[in-house]
Amino acid sequence: MMRFWIPLILLFSWCAIALLGPTWPLSPSHIDLTNILSGPGSDAWLGYDDLGRPMGDRLIIGARTSFMVAISVVLLALAIGTTLGTFTAFIGGWVDHVMVRIIDVFLAFPGILLAIALAGLMGPSINNVVIALASVGWVGYARLARAQVLTFKTRDHVVAAQALGAQPMRIIVWHLVPLISAPLIVEASFGIAGVVIAEAGLSFLGLGVQPPAASWGSMIRDGARYMLVAPHMVVAPGIALMIVVLAVNLLGDWLRDWMDVKTSRGYQ
């Protein structure tokens, strides 16, 4: 039970900070030249950065950035991938073969490199980061949905629905999607962690959010130059990034075991 509650509390805290943070009296872009590179203290619990901006306030705004990007990318990629994979697998024939070849082409390139190339071509902005990551993230969901539909579309209830003249859309929505939803939900939970890391990486390279907006990746990039004199500039966003990714992965592991009938019921 502890394995479930700890990551859930951490993720709930991340979501609450991301959603409620903008309503708090924060000053993430306020420059105080007298506190440049100052360490943690009573007035700033995480210290100040190289421009004298409070690290705590910027960390909260960065949490909102990572949360909004992660949710947007996962929902968009899940919708596109599930739709394409489900329909092409159900239709079969040359349509399915074309989709398989498209998936193979995307999988031939490292996803993060393709996202970097797309973000570089479109220009640095948070919207372009979402588009770039969703453009490479839908492939995994499409492949998983296709494999699941190929397994379930020969089930007796699906064949019976086809024999009774049910429309393909009705069969997909009412008979196939409920069966393939569990593995897709698990895949999406792990996808959130991947998107958080990818967004931080793109922001670290200067392809994500632009100043004065805050992102954990850009905060790590700015602090890398001052590691010896102000390690708090890297440690704070680095620990926040590690905690969120670890919590998402732990919750994804628990969710996978919970949705696995054999594991949840103790079958060998």
- The tens digit of pLDDT for each residue in 80-137 reads 999 999 999 999 889 999 999 999 998 888 888 888 888 888 888 888 899 999 999 9
How far is it, in rounded angstroms, from Cα 82 to Cα 187? Answer: 11
User: Is a pLDDT exceeding 60 seen at residue 261?
Assistant: no
Phi-psi sector, 206: left (phi>0), alpha (psi -120 to 50), beta: left
User: Is a pLDDT exceeding 50 seen at residue 268?
Assistant: no
Q: Where are the domains of the chain?
A: 53-261
Q: What architecture is the 53-261 domain classified under in CATH? A: Orthogonal Bundle (1.10)
* pTM confidence score: 0.89
User: Given this model, what pLDDT does residue 3 score?
Assistant: 63
Q: What is the pLDDT of residues 162-180, one digit of tens each?
A: 888 888 888 888 888 888 9
3 state SS for the chain:
CHHHHHHHHHHHHHHHHHHHHHHCCCCCCCCCHHHCCCCCCCCCCCCECCCCCEHHHHHHHHHHHHHHHHHHHHHHHHHHHHHHHHHHHHHCHHHHHHHHHHHHHHHCCCHHHHHHHHHHHHCCCHHHHHHHHHHHHHHHHHHHHHHHHHHHCCCHHHHHHHHCCCCHHHHHHHHHHHHHHHHHHHHHHHHHHHHHHHHHHHHHCCCCCCCCCCCHHHHHHHHHHHCCCCCHHHHHHHHHHHHHHHHHHHHHHHHHHHHCHHHHCCCC
